[in-house]
A and B are shown apart, each in its own frame.
Chain A
Amino acid sequence: MSPQEPYTESRLTTIGNRQLEIGNLQSTPPLGQRLFPNKEWMLLIVLAAECIVFSVTGSNFLTAGNAFEVTRLAVELGLLALALTPVIITGGVDLSVGSMMGLSAVVLGSLWRDAHWPMPVAIAAALILGAVGGGLNALMIARLNFPPLIVTLGTFSLFRGVAEGLTRGIDNYSGFSSSFLFLGQGYVGGLIPAQLFVLLVAIAGWTWWLHRTPVGRSLYAIGYSAEGARYAGIPVGRRLGSVYLLSGLSSSLAAVIYVAHIGQAKSDAGTGYELMAITAVVLGGASIFGGRGTVLGTVLGLFAIVILQNGLRLNSQPAELAGILTGALLIGTILADRLSSRARAQAHIQNGSEETQVKNSQVAILSAVILLGALIVAGSNWYLVGSLRHGSSGGSAGSAGQPAGGAHKTVIAMMPKAKGDPYFISCRQGAEDAAKEMGVELLWDGPTDLDPAKQNEVIEAWITIGVDVIAVSVENEVAVSTVLHKAREKGIKVVTWDADAQKDARDFFINQATPQGIGYTLTDEASRILNNKGEFAIITASLSAANQNEWIKHIKARLAEKYPDIKLVAIQPSDGDRDRAFAETQTILKVYPKVKLIMAIAAPAVPGAAEAVKQSGRADVKVTGLSLPNMCKPYVHDGIIESIVLWNTLDLGYLTVYASRALSGGQLKRGDQNVAAGRLGRIEVQNDEVRLGAPFIFNKTNIDGFNF
């Protein structure tokens, strides 16, 4: 087949436009067209609209501090998007950039910590690794002529897989020197984030390369027609190769910045970044078919996304809305582009002057998208204000002890590790109850999936808003602590709950159970079910999940210390996915027929494992683990799940809000013996920890008493 044929018609018109532009170039076309060949000015309107809407509705959006914070968040993504711009201009794509970040981060960390290489050398090695990985893509795409989508889909799995394999998913590297961390966390002149300069240099470099050198210009020719470019004497293979090579190099540079920003190197760095970067490039007017796109457009597209996310966060809008609006913006932009190019083709034929009309239609579509976003923001703010007024007037009777409640309502910002996790959803329920009782405003936001970088972003936004208390369930100790320090410096009270940060990064830790307590309770429970003898297997969350790995460590320690006759035969991942846990359990039951107990230590994995045991008909196998009562109830009553270990998550959320309020009101300070927590009575305080109590074992007899 010859894939060029379908384009004949449209290419003629496009090339016609191009010729027109080239013809015009000699007589210097209007500035607007030279600056924005792909109508990137539309993005300027979007950006302006975003800024206007958010500065009116959000708190502290239009401040220098926030502006620089936004740019800090844009650096890693920007480096990827910039590198993807030439890739997409040549008509290709590179899906492996995010995975390459993970691999480079891990290699950087291990060379520095385990091989004791000096940091600059380790960085150089990571960059070389990026170039080698990019070179692999280049080899297969440019030399062997394989489709980029498939090659990079393969390396997307390969790079991430090698990163996970090298670290066994568990290792992560932290404790980097402060001079290295300055690259990602420091401020030049007290205000400008250090990594911004890297981005600026990258923007300048790519602009020069792509728009000012013959090599860069030849990429457009390749994107229009590789065959034609070859006939014109352009070494197509070599040029394509260099593009993918640079993309790999750029990804590893992004990884270095990411590690310095987060303070930790782990195999999950950069997960999902490839899609966001591609979105930014396409939003910036690059054609996915190749031949069109500018660095300026990519930068504008990048900031359109980042500012949208930041602005919605400052408006306390859920992160999901940012995704939905980005999707709408993406379709809106290409649709406007499509309609306008079709209309322009007609205009050329008629030799008419419908340009203005076309532009109007584009503006109309974009305005509609922006208006939609603005309406959602405004509507929900209005709703929020309404409900607050309602809440405070209703609550004032009950809370006579807070006379100043009308003047300033305490704002408690509370963050789970992942919003979609059923465990945190039930914590939120308790937190909302407490907030209602006390008449405080509760902001609840966080990453949708486990992602330490996202946690930082949301906390930064809360600092900018100026909330009273920040309460975080910490995904990554090192990563979050720097930003929590910053919050404390700004006078915001900081509480951690569920999982702790570094001790000096927070005022109090709401401790529901220590990893040791969980590990020991699970092991003791396993020994009870197995009658002190036999084999069992563990279904964990993902192989790189920090919590689970910590628990497994204590489980192993307890086994070695107390139960020599119990053997742990396998640890399999479930990725927090019920169906995957189901399949893994089926396999374990077949490969290890002597296993009499499955211990699943992620909330969705327990019902998955139980269903697998149930369908296998193996009445001699039991399930235990860490999960929520509601999703396990049927299996507990069937006798498949012997017991689950957990604390009352409703109470955890409830206690966190009460303790946060007490902390901001001065009723809770270091040295206190206990703190009042509404329906829970007085809760024990030890030093800087508020103790919820020991883990609780749910079984057939008591599980019906709980509903979460």
Chain B
Amino acid sequence: MKWGRHKQEISAAGALAALLVILAAASPSFFSPGNLRDLALNNAATLIVAIGMTMVILAGEIDISVGSQFAVCSIASGWLATIGVPILLLLPSVVVMGAALGAVNGLFTGMLRLPSIIVTLAMMVTLREGLRWTTQGAWVQNLPANFQWLGLGQNAGQWLIVVLAVSVSASFAWALRKLGAGRAIYATGSDAEAARLAGIEPRRVVLGVFVLMGALSGLAALLNAVRFSVVPGNPGIGLELKAIAAVVVGGTAITGGRGTVAGTLIGVALLGTIGTALTFLGINPFWEKAIQGAIILAALVSDTAFGQLERLQIADFRLPIERRK
């Protein structure tokens, strides 16, 4: 019974395990500590964004503006550093900025009850084009020397990023399971009306998850930016699809109400490993996108392989926004 509830996570984990076994047989050097560290670092930002996305999707919404939020926050972090904001203040200010961007989404979807896919589609275009218009694609250069690795040096900086990403995952996993607010997200996502009758304010929950999503995009942007000594002009393109795909491959239901952070972790690991794995296996990179698509579809089909397919409602794409006032 307990395992049955997590069958999608298990099938994703199975796929990841299969990939790792193939790699272990064909190219053991994949498991060198250096490579694992690099993989963790390169996927840390995606993981943090995907955790925010897990909550958004659990609440029955979706956010396709995260790539643009990530871009705005990346540029902002570089820009703040060049105008002399102390490094210690950088983290809180970028996170607050991300939260503010998320709050705009949250206000439109939570409070005005507009469909999140449309609101965030509009935000995605507006933020991205607005950024291009103001910066004209210019890179942020001449950053202070202590911007890279937040002044901690490469080794400590790398550890800091990994530790932060892991502790963010762990604390959100815990909060979603144990805290009232976490359970309220599940409740809202599975049945907003019932949640309301049980004394939960679905509108506030939706606003909350979007604010958290924005804050996590900001955090991810900063942690990614400090790995380098310049900030490029147009980062984070396609990040939203990467994050959504990882969340879904990790077994979270797109209709909301079901899913775990652990599953998302597996999803990020699976999709984030493929590209590197192909190079290690000597497979042509041209097929990477096709393989990723096949994995997403396979994750869906594996659901049936486990036998009892819950009869999902047809046309499941609907998002439970049209709640009662």
Contact = CB atoms under 8 A, between A and B. Distances in A.
Contact of B290 (A148, A157, A587, A604): A157
Given A327-B126, A578-B228, A288 B32 contact: no
B293 A161 contact: yes
A223 interface: yes
Interface residues of A, number: 98
A164 B289 contact: yes
Given A158-B297, A579-B235, A611 B229 contact: yes
Contact of A320 (B130, B297, B325): B130
A615 B34 CA distance: 11
A10 B317 CA distance: 17
Given A159-B293, A334-B115, A590-B29, A572 B317 contact: no
A414 to B, nearest CB: 15
A54 to B, nearest CB: 19
Contacts of B133: 318, 320-321, 324
Interface string B157-189: 000000000000000000000000000000000
Contacts of A590: 29, 32, 34-35, 280
A631 B141 contact: yes
B303 to A, nearest CB: 8
A275 interface: yes
A227 B313 CA distance: 8
A169 interface: yes
Interface in A596-641: 604, 607, 611, 615-616, 630-631, 634
B313 A326 contact: no
B125 interface: yes
A494 B32 CA distance: 56
A236 interface: yes
A4 interface: yes
B42 interface: yes
Contacts, number: 278
Contacts of A151: 297, 300
Interface in A105-152: 140, 142, 144-151
A327 B123 contact: yes
Interface stretch (A55-63, A87-95, A501-509): A87-95
A261 interface: no
Contact of B313 (A2, A164, A237, A421): A2
Contacts of B34: 590, 616
A2 B191 contact: yes
Contact of B315 (A7, A91, A275): A91
Contacts of B257: 1
A579 B38 CA distance: 12
B322 A10 contact: yes
B54 to A, nearest CB: 14
Interface string A582-593: 111011101100
A290 interface: yes
Contacts of B245: 153-154, 157
A531 interface: no
Contacts of B289: 157-158, 160-161, 164-165
Contacts of A342: 325
A318 B132 CA distance: 10
A422 B255 CA distance: 41
Contacts of B121: 275, 278-279, 327, 330
Interface string B277-307: 0011010111111111110110011001000
B318 A3 contact: yes
A154 B132 contact: no
A161 B194 CA distance: 42
Contact of B114 (A145, A324, A338, A591): A338
B146 interface: no
Interface in B98-135: 108, 112-115, 117-119, 121-123, 125-126, 128-130, 132-133
A577 interface: yes
A596 B241 CA distance: 35
Nearest to A168: B286
Contacts of A334: 114-115, 118-119
Nearest to B321: A289
Contacts of A9: 193, 322-324
A422 B233 contact: yes
Contacts of A36: none
A192 interface: no
Of A147, A240, A322, A421, most B-chain CB atoms within 10 Å: A147
A588 B233 CA distance: 25
A161 B139 CA distance: 30
B51 to A, nearest CB: 19
B16 interface: no
A421 B286 CA distance: 23
A420 B297 contact: no
A331 B321 CA distance: 15
B232 interface: yes
A419 B136 contact: yes
B286 A164 contact: yes
Nearest to A419: B137
Contacts of A140: 297, 300-301
Contacts of A322: 129
A98 B93 CA distance: 38
Given A2-B191, A145-B312, 5 more contacts: A148-B315, A150-B254, A290-B318, A338-B113, A422-B137
30 contacts: A3-B318, A3-B320, A91-B317, A142-B314, A144-B309, A145-B313, A147-B255, A149-B317, A150-B300, A151-B300, A154-B300, A158-B294, A161-B293, A162-B290, A222-B314, A222-B315, A236-B314, A323-B129, A331-B118, A334-B114, A338-B112, A420-B137, A579-B232, A582-B228, A583-B275, A590-B32, A591-B27, A591-B29, A591-B282, A615-B154
